[in-house]
Amino acid sequence: MCTHIVKGKINSSAIKIGNISKLLDNKTISGNSFIITDDNLAVLYKDFLYDKNVIVVNHGDKNKNLSTMDMIYDKLLKAGADRKSFILGFGGGMVTDIAGFAASTYMRGVRFGFIPTSLLAMVDASIGGKNGVNHHRFKNIIGNINQPDFVIIDPVFLKTLPEEEYINGMAEAIKHLLIADESGFNNYYANIKSFLNKTGNEISSFLCSQTKIKVDIVNNDEKETGERKKLNFGHTFGHAIEKLSGIKHGFAVSIGMIIAAKISGKMGYLSSNEIQIIENTLMKTGLPVSYNLPAHKILETITKDKKKSGDDIDFIALEKIGKAVIVPIKIKDLKKLFIEIN
């Protein structure tokens, strides 16, 4: 078993990787507890969910919205959920995001925890306390930062994860390596095939090292005023591409990382060889590295990025593989750099 602790200002969160049967206290999901999951997982794991208070939402990021939240609040009220209730998010990043947001806002906040079932949720979405929903397809524009009591990560759930979703999650894993772990990136680059085996022996140690990268960053900057911004590498353009194209989050972030890497080169950081290595890594993983969208549409969309401040934005560049830097830049100057690399 591997355990990390997120030390939030209000609540601490235990991130545990191991066998769920040994890590999950059955008292947590009995009585006045409610499990939020999606319609796909409700079928796949009906035995696990049997005889429990389950709220089922429709799968897919398009359903991560306020309408879904209304439905969850209605069901909680109807079932008699009170301030002593516990909410468990069981699913991918979409489920953990809305479960955390529901728990943080229902009756001004009830306790909650997560059991992530996708790679994306295991290495990224379930860790760090960010909860929220989209609004008119703008990613996570409504939400809060509130730590769950626990996140229990069991690689066994990856067995039922479609291959495309596994690769989708690997984009965020590669992002962690690029911003903070040069040796980990080199190891991944040399052994991509083994890391793509989602049931291989390496997966538990990989999840342990991956979660530690994010936990360490969050512990240094829970509210994203500095260091945590580095986790947004690839997301400025990635979120715009995701909104415009509707492709999966990790796929959009993969494209965003290539754009950010090329801009990092223009800024005088990455060499052309490093950029090529990053591109090759993403391609060999099965992730996209190009887009077929009008440049002006992408540029229009990044002006609505929630992380901008007035005419400025903190752009995350790579000084080198394994080291990210925060570069405050005028949006108009970032646009010029984007046009130059196209």
Residue (of 193, 195, 225, 320) closest to 9 by Cα position: 225
| Mean predicted confidence (pLDDT) in 198-216 | 92
Decide which of 34 and 31 is more confident.
Answer: 34
Tokens of 196: 């793509």
Q: Are 92 and 118 in contact (CB under 8 A)?
A: yes
- Measured CA to CA, the distance from residue 179 to residue 17 in angstroms comes to 22
Same structural domain, 230 and 291: yes
Same structural domain, 185 and 245: yes
Helix, strand, coil: what percent of the chain each, to 5? 55, 20, 25
Per-residue confidence (pLDDT) for residue 308, from 0 to 100: 66
Same structural domain, 260 and 179: yes
Same structural domain, 251 and 329: yes
Where does a domain end: 145, 160, 175?
160
Q: Are 321 and 278 in contact (CB under 8 A)?
A: yes
Q: Are 138 and 304 in contact (CB under 8 A)?
A: yes
pLDDT (tens digit per residue) in 94-116: 999 999 999 999 999 999 999 99
Q: Which of 21-30, 51-60, 167-176, 309-318 has the lowest mean pLDDT?
A: 21-30
SS3 for 127-140 is CCCEEEEEECCEEE
pLDDT (tens digit per residue) in 43-66: 999 999 998 999 999 999 899 999
Same structural domain, 262 and 333: yes
CB-based contacts of 26: which residues, under 8 Å, 6+ apart?
none
Q: Are 99 and 56 in contact (CB under 8 A)?
A: no
Domain range for 91: 2-160
| Mean predicted confidence (pLDDT) in 194-214 | 91
Q: Which of 5-19, 130-144, 234-248, 328-342 has the lowest mean pLDDT?
A: 130-144
Same structural domain, 134 and 236: no
CATH number for 75: 3.40.50.1970
Where does a domain end: 100, 133, 160?
160
CATH number for 222: 1.20.1090.10
Q: Is 70 exceeded by the pLDDT of residue 256? A: yes
Per-residue confidence (pLDDT) for residue 199, from 0 to 100: 81
Number of domains in the chain: 2
Q: Are 263 and 331 in contact (CB under 8 A)?
A: no
| Mean predicted confidence (pLDDT) in 134-138 | 83
**pTM of this prediction?**
0.93
Torsion of CA 175, 180, 182, 186, to 10 degrees: -30
| Mean predicted confidence (pLDDT) in 247-255 | 97
Around Cβ 33, how many Cβ atoms within 10 Å? 20
Q: How many Å separate Cα 233 from the centre of its chain?
A: 12
> Percent of the chain at pLDDT above 70?
99
Residue (of 239, 324, 216, 320) closest to 274 by Cα position: 320
Report the mean per-residue pLDDT for the chain.
94
pLDDT band at 25 (very low <50, low <70, confident <90, very high): confident
Same structural domain, 324 and 218: yes
| Mean predicted confidence (pLDDT) in 9-14 | 93
Per-residue confidence (pLDDT) for residue 29, from 0 to 100: 74
Using alpha carbons, list the distances in angstroms from residue 37 to 42, 52, 58, 94, 115. Answer: 7, 12, 9, 9, 10
- Measured CA to CA, the distance from residue 129 to residue 12 in angstroms comes to 10
